[in-house]
Chains A and B, each alone.
Chain A
Amino acid sequence: MASADNGMNGDGSTSVERVGIFALSGATKRFGGVVAVDGVDFDLLEGEVHALVGENGAGKSTLMKMVGGVHAPDEGSVEVGGEAVSFASPGEAEGAGIAMIPQELDLFPELTIAENLFVGRKRPRTRWGGMDWKTMKEEARRSLGSMGVSLDVGATVKQLSTANRQIVAIARALLGDAKAVIMDEPTASLTEREAEKLFEVIADLTASGVGVVYISHRLEEVFRISDRITVMRDGRHIKTAPTSDLDSDELVRLMVGRELKELFSRSRHETGDIALETRGLTREGEFEDVDLTVRRGEVVGLAGLIGAGRTELAQTLFGLHKADAGEIRIDGEAVKSLSPQKAMEKGIFYVPEERKSQGLISPFPISANITLSILDRICRMGFVKRGRERETAERFAASLSIRGAGMDDPVSRLSGGNQQKVVLAKSLAREPSVLLLDEPTRGVDVGAKSEIYRLIDDLAGEGKAVLLISSELEEILSMSDRIVVMREGKVSGEFERSEADQEKIMAAATGTKAGQTAEVREERT
């Protein structure tokens, strides 16, 4: 971990000797009427980490897609190694040494991990011309190993959790001999532990002269690993500066274009009755014997590593899966077989972690997405009341300040952060009494994040019970009244806000210092 810091925070002087890998100049990209990127200059040097930051929809991904061969710039030029290029496909960019880990993961669910790494690449061949599966697997294992992960490379990708898919996507980009690696929010679905591994990998890469573009909304990461930072806002280039010349407040101000008071907003509220309670809830192979309570007006944080079973638990509470054993009580009343419809009747709502595949109907207009879960309330005799629908959608879109497109535009037009707000708006429109939030700020910019945090606080203030699943420790620590930690499907620790700190949670999540966590648990019972 320590190595991540070594020699990475380049000061201006070292970058002088470095050679440019690629450069964009005056790059402009329009989608219909929207100017996503507007005359931006950007360059990457050998052996540096160049962070690219900005609010959701600032144009970061679009800018990098122009280097990665996904989009061709409408204006401006792309140069690689000093020569102007125009890539027709990401494959060509890869051939020129530019690898990209896209924000929206695109893997082949039915293919094995090993094979996913080799799609579109030259596959190794045996002497007699057949495919050399052994070598492919070895290389795959090696590539994953460098991330400190050991997965069965013969398993299909569809069996993997989101986090592991992210790791496979990273491994895929690292497999070739890339001169530049573009990472578009690689840590969005990683927990801190895997993120640390990634930083080690990045350090190794830069040490061998590879340049890394690092896009992230986690600013502390940006400060830790980058040499230079470029800020974008509304598609325009705002500033490029050595990391050492910037501080956090300054960066946020550049990104948002105004002062941002406080990221986390959390006030104490009176907690009320128990709204949601589980007793010995078990689903084989996913989680076991989970006791959990969430009171009205309380925010309970649920922490854990990848595959700890938090998502499964939350989805079971929403009736998407059936529990094998145990009991779920809502407002003190035990509920038998739950379905999402029934859970919604009981006032529970779940905000999924994967917004693209689980949260949104992408081609639907924004308004239809927001009202999808409350159609029963805005219908008369089954007919949708357009006026009510419109009014409701606009109210919630405004209260979450969803920006970037009109109510009738497909939600796919929005940037990631604004899409996430639509998912949240959908859940708020339902006016649930128990809200299960699964990674609600994944891939969301600081501005939007602080709005979401304020929203969570407001919800608790209104007496709602909130279960907050998050892999960002800081978020969990700052937002929760109480923190429950899961490990390998079991509850491995529970802390009041006052007694919790980063170390204790990590210990409970990883199983080190088991004695200590056990003690904590006993205290509480």
Chain B
Amino acid sequence: MSGASTTTTATEHSDGPLKRFLTRPEAPALIFLAALVVVLSVVADGFLGASNFEGILSQVVVIGIIALAVNQVVLSGEIDISTGSMLGLCAMASGTVAVAGGGLLFTLLAGVAVGALAGAVNGFLVTVARIPAIIVTLGMLYALRGVLLLVTGGTWVTGVPAEARVLGIGSVFGVSLPIIVLFALFIVMELVNRHSDWGRNVLAVGGNRRAAMLAGLPSRRVRFWAFVLVGAAVGIASVIYIGRAGSVQTNAGTGLELQVIAAVVIGGTSIAGGRGSTLAALTGAVLIGVILNGMVLLGIPGVWQDAVLGALILLAVSTDVLRRKLLGDKA
């Protein structure tokens, strides 16, 4: 997590660092995360330890990577809830290639290609056929799962060979590789958002589409690539998924789409578009990971876990109200 805060946009404004921090979209989530970490360190044995932190992070890698990309879609004023089925399809593709002996490179290529293709379909239907994104991606949620079942006939992929699992279970200098991938992608996205025209245009298009069009921004192209990016990210995530799981089932990724959206919006990216940050998506994903982990450590019975998760999500987003109070109701 410390990696995250150092690589964050060094805010260039000088006045009132606290107030500046509070105006950042991810501020409430970060504050809540910090509070939660403190509480859990005290009450939950085994929470405060490098291996547990590493465990939490590796569990959120798949959600985190996809959230980083979905974050862009949400920033551009759209939404993507097809990622669950997309992950299933990509994992099946990359898993099949891996089992066939494709090695890491082709495994990755297969996942990314399938994902990008699915993402491009989403993007095409939203920007060219002009169907609302929530419907497109809802339809794709059904359709992609259907494709997956049709193509595989319900067989699972098992026994993914070790060389293709590196991204999921390998480690470099003692740090597990999936975490490195997550943070590398975080930094890439942060740079894209800060320094590429596309990154800035995403914010503009999401903030005010009409104005963006009047300013001559290619609003459709900007949004199209955001959807493709989600596909590519799901492709990368799928390789981590098969790496971690070692096999793929036809129901892989079920329900993932809502967790990803939850991560993005809990982190502080506005569902209305135009407001948010890369760090928000990451924070949201980590927050969910910490909550889930904390519940197991505290021995909260399985039946009550959803209730606690939901309540904590509400509490986390309510922190935003506190922030608005502190900032005097503006912003």
Contact = CB atoms under 8 A, between A and B. Distances in A.
Interface of A: 69-70, 89-92, 94-95, 102, 106-111, 115, 119-120, 123, 129-131, 133-134, 137, 152, 154, 156, 158-159, 284-285
B212 interface: yes
A106 B210 contact: yes
B331 A158 contact: yes
A102 B211 CA distance: 10
B331 A108 contact: no
B130 interface: no
Contacts of A107: 208, 211
B195 A106 contact: no
A110 B12 contact: no
Scoring B204, B214, B274, B328 by chain A CB atoms within 10 A of each residue's CB, the highest score goes to: B214
Contact of A90 (B201, B214, B275): B214
Contacts of B23: 156
B207 A102 contact: no
A119 B197 CA distance: 9
A119 B12 contact: no
B331 A130 contact: no
B216 interface: yes
Contacts of A89: 213-214, 216
Given A106-B210, A106-B211, A111 B216 contact: no
Interface residues of B, number: 28
A136 B12 CA distance: 12
B194 interface: yes
A152 B15 CA distance: 10
B275 A110 contact: yes
A154 B191 CA distance: 19
A90 B331 contact: no
B214 A70 contact: yes
Contacts, number: 77
Nearest to B191: A130
10 contacts: A108-B204, A108-B207, A109-B208, A110-B203, A111-B203, A111-B274, A115-B200, A130-B194, A133-B12, A159-B330
A70 B210 CA distance: 11
A108 B203 contact: yes
Contacts of B201: 119
B12 A123 contact: no
Contacts of A137: 12
Contacts of A154: 12-13
Given A106-B210, A123-B200, 14 more contacts: A70-B214, A90-B216, A91-B217, A106-B208, A107-B211, A108-B274, A110-B274, A110-B275, A111-B274, A119-B200, A129-B195, A130-B191, A152-B13, A159-B330
A159 B331 contact: yes
A238 to B, nearest CB: 29
Given A130-B195, A131-B194, A109 B216 contact: no
B207 A92 contact: no
Interface in B229-288: 270, 274-275
A102 B331 CA distance: 25
Contacts of B15: 152
A284 B125 CA distance: 49
A106 B212 CA distance: 8
B215 interface: yes
B174 to A, nearest CB: 32
A92 B213 CA distance: 11
A496 B328 CA distance: 36
Nearest to A126: B195
B216 A91 contact: yes
Contact of A285 (B191, B203, B328): B328
A181 B187 CA distance: 41
A89 to B, nearest CB: 5
In the complex, the 4 A-B pairs of residues with the closest C-beta atoms, listed nearest first: A91-B216, A120-B215, A106-B211, A108-B207
Contacts of B195: 129-131
A298 B211 CA distance: 42
A90 B218 CA distance: 12
B13 A90 contact: no
Contact of B215 (A119, A130, A158): A119
B217 A120 contact: yes
Contacts of A70: 214
B216 A92 contact: yes
Given A123-B197, A154-B13, A108 B208 contact: yes
A77 to B, nearest CB: 22
A283 B217 CA distance: 40
Interface string B37-73: 0000000000000000000000000000000000000
Given A90-B214, A90-B216, A119-B200, A110 B13 contact: no
Scoring B208, B212, B213 by chain A CB atoms within 10 A of each residue's CB, the highest score goes to: B208
Interface string B180-209: 000000000001001101001101100110
A158 B330 CA distance: 9
